[in-house]
Amino acid sequence: MSTAKKSLEISWLGLDGFLVVLYFIAVGIIYYAITAQNDWIVGQAIPYGIMITVTIIFINYLLIVLKFNKQQDKNLERK
């Protein structure tokens, strides 16, 4: 298997698996909150939880991009 193809595989123990589990947890909580008519969960917990999760994923993405950029800079200096 080529390196490019292997990098496109889903890692169930990494960020991909976390997002899949998070999706089902969010759906379950939203379903409960709507059926139980719980305004605090729908109005407070879910929006803040999603904001925190998106921020963490965005910071992780930025760190990956910066790490890649540093590696490219080192490669350009060697040439």
Domain extent listing, the chain: 12-78
Taking phi first (over 0 means left), then psi (-120 to 50 degrees means alpha), and beta for anything else, what does residue 37 get? left
Query: In a 3-state reduction of DSSP, which class is residue 12?
Result: coil
Confidence tier at 55 by pLDDT (50, 70, 90): very high
> Please, what sign has the CA dihedral across residues 48, 25, 64, 8?
negative
Answer with the residue of higher pLDDT: 11 or 5: 11
- Indicate whether 58 pLDDT > 90: yes
Confidence tier at 18 by pLDDT (50, 70, 90): confident
pLDDT value of position 16: 78
Asked whether 21 and 63 are in contact (CB, 8 A), the reply is no
